[in-house]
Amino acid sequence: MMFDRRLVTHFDWVLLLTVCLLALTGVANLYSATSGWAPVGAPIYVKQMVWLSGGVVLALLLSCFDYRHLEYFSVVGYVLTVGLLLVVLVLGKTSMGATRWIALGPINLQPSEVIKIVMILLLARIFGRSAHPLGYSFYDLWRPALLLIVPVVLILKQPDLGTAMMLMFISVSMLVFAGLQRGTFYGLCAVAVSGLSGGWFFLHDYQKSRIRTFLNPEQDPLGSGYHIIQSKIAVGSGGFFGKGFLAGTQSQLSFLPERHTDFAFSVFAEEWGFAGCLLLLLLYLFLIVWGLYVSRRAADRFGMFLALGVTAMIFWHIVVNLGMVIGLLPVVGVPLPLFSYGGTSMVTTMIGVGLLMSVSMRRFKF
């Protein structure tokens, strides 16, 4: 009974309520973004509520599960997920030129989203078991580097540059937190610069077009540059206090494409302005800081790196999506966590939240 009482006593209500507040704000924003659509099936915001409800239940179930048992599952999970990525390349469902899904009846499974959580678990296991007081050397990194390269290459084959970037950003964040020798750090920076320079020649034509559009969207204002131009107009026209709920012209008059997915924040910025965006970003900032706080208080190294990895996953999705919608980064199809429409994104994020809650609730258990 003492075990159960301690779990209830240390339940992380702050984390759960913050996540629910962000997600419900996102649902309201989706209602506004799609209010002018002709009704075909269930409305987008209703579907998002269903995914959110399922995600909350999943997070609560994971919070009741001792995260330390997942350390032993991480290797098996990695092998299974990499196997699914291989299945995608052979038997995957193709949509809009990309093959990223496995059709399972009414559900489309996207293994590239699952690998984010699995990779966090695996790296948390590796870094949690091997402490290097002076930092990791190049030799120490061969195993995690190899484990990272395999799914990244398979995801790039789909092709899905955005998810591959996220996987690398999350992994590098965990590595930096684990500690690097100075020479190793400079060496990795050199490798990254070389990779960015040489990587251009391996990009698909549409990916090169996105980068050209990012550098000069006005060169094709009615084609490849249309999305980002309309997004910047929406964000800028919101002013300080916005145009009001359901009153955004860019979204309500259908000038803004993908306003329920990649550019959901643009709809919010137009309707609520700088003041509303500031409050939303402060809420996201609080979520990130709280995730780092959970990591700092973790009872063991595995929990510390697990919480850090989940926090890094949420952080980089926020940074890249916001950079996309205001023109600071190329459009790579990365959703805003808890805000953009998407069942896979919502479930993946809520799995991460459940793991964070599990680490937080067991911070005093030994």
- Residue 356 confidence class, pLDDT cut points 50, 70, 90: very high
pLDDT for residue 202: 64
The helix (run of H) or strand (run of E) holding residue 104 is: strand 98-104
- Give the whole-number percent of the chain exceeding pLDDT 90: 44
Q: 249: domain range?
A: 10-361
Dihedral over Cα of 35, 39, 40, 43: its sign? positive
pLDDT for residue 310: 96
Q: Map residue 36 onto helix, strand or coil.
A: coil
Q: State mean pLDDT over 179-203.
A: 76
Q: How many folded domains does the chain comprise?
A: 1
313 is a domain residue: yes
Let me know how long the chain is: 366
The whole-angstrom separation of Cα 128 and Cα 70 is 13
Nearest-CA neighbor of 262 among 354, 329, 169? 329
pLDDT tens digit sequence for 293-350: 999 999 899 999 999 999 999 999 999 999 989 888 888 878 999 999 988 889 999 9
How far, rounded to the nearest angstrom, does the alpha carbon of residue 58 sit from its chain's CA centroid?
A: 17
4 is a domain residue: no
The whole-angstrom separation of Cα 49 and Cα 25 is 11
- Higher per-residue pLDDT: 127 or 330: 127
The helix (run of H) or strand (run of E) holding residue 224 is: none
pLDDT tens digit sequence for 78-101: 999 999 999 888 887 776 667 787
pLDDT tens digit sequence for 230-275: 888 888 888 899 898 888 888 777 778 888 888 999 999 999 999 9
pLDDT at 198 over 70: no
Mean pLDDT taken over the chain: 86
Nearest-CA neighbor of 284 among 21, 79, 55? 21
- Higher per-residue pLDDT: 8 or 270: 270
Tell me, letter by letter, the H, E, C secondary structure of 264-328. Answer: HHHHHHHHHHHHHHHHHHHHHHHHHHHHHHHHHHCCCHHHHHHHHHHHHHHHHHHHHHHHHHCCC
User: How are beta strands 98-104 and 107-109 bridged, if at all?
Assistant: antiparallel
- Higher per-residue pLDDT: 5 or 171: 171
- CA distances to 55, 126, 206, 343, 350 from 59, rounded to whole Å, are 6, 24, 37, 14, 6
pLDDT for residue 316: 95
pLDDT for residue 282: 97
Single pTM value for the model: 0.91
pLDDT for residue 194: 76
Using an 8 Å Cβ cutoff, are 114 and 120 in contact? no
- Give the whole-number percent of the chain exceeding pLDDT 70: 88
2 is a domain residue: no
pLDDT for residue 1: 37
348 is a domain residue: yes
pLDDT at 61 over 90: yes
CA angle 322–166–289, rounded 5-degree value? 65
pLDDT for residue 3: 47
pLDDT at 50 over 90: yes
355 is a domain residue: yes
56 is a domain residue: yes
pLDDT tens digit sequence for 30-42: 999 888 776 666 7
Close Cβ partners of 316 (under 8 Å, ≥ 6 residues apart): 166, 169, 170, 173
366 is a domain residue: no
pLDDT at 132 over 90: no
